Amino acid sequence: VSEVLSQKFPPFDHQSVIIGPFEDESKRDVDMLIELMLEFHAWSTARPVYASETTAEALEKEIHDIIETENEQGRSTVSLPPPQTIVDKTRQRLIEFVERIKIALAALTRF
């Protein structure tokens, strides 16, 4: 018994057994949370745009279908304009912008 008691035990290396693995696991958790937050932010930022575009397209299609049905039944007072392309819409917005600039310049030159 005294032989066993007189033997020196190696010191307990708490750094490599407890602290090191805990810090590694904590770093992995932080990295995972940061990645999750970035992905969620990207999703939440893109989602409203996608949802509003999808909803707008669905509503436009539904309105188009209703007007088309009314035209077939002879009850519609609305004539359906041809669908505009992005180029047509951009051209129309540019024309409206130029008109507003002309009106603003005319108003400024009167004074």
**Structure confidence at residue 79 (pLDDT):** 60
57 lies in which domain range?
8-80
pTM score, two decimals? 0.38
Domain annotation covers residue 13: yes
Q: For residues 56 and 28, what is the distance between their CA atoms, to the nearest angstrom?
A: 42
Q: Encode pLDDT of 18-71 as tens digits.
A: 999 999 999 999 999 999 999 988 887 877 777 778 888 888 888 888 888 887
Residues 72 and 88 in one domain: no
pLDDT of 76 > 70? The answer is: no
Do 74 and 34 fall within a single domain? yes
Residues 6+ apart with CB under 8 A from 92: 84
pLDDT at 83: 65
Could you say which DSSP state residue 20 is in?
H
CA distance 68 to 85: 19
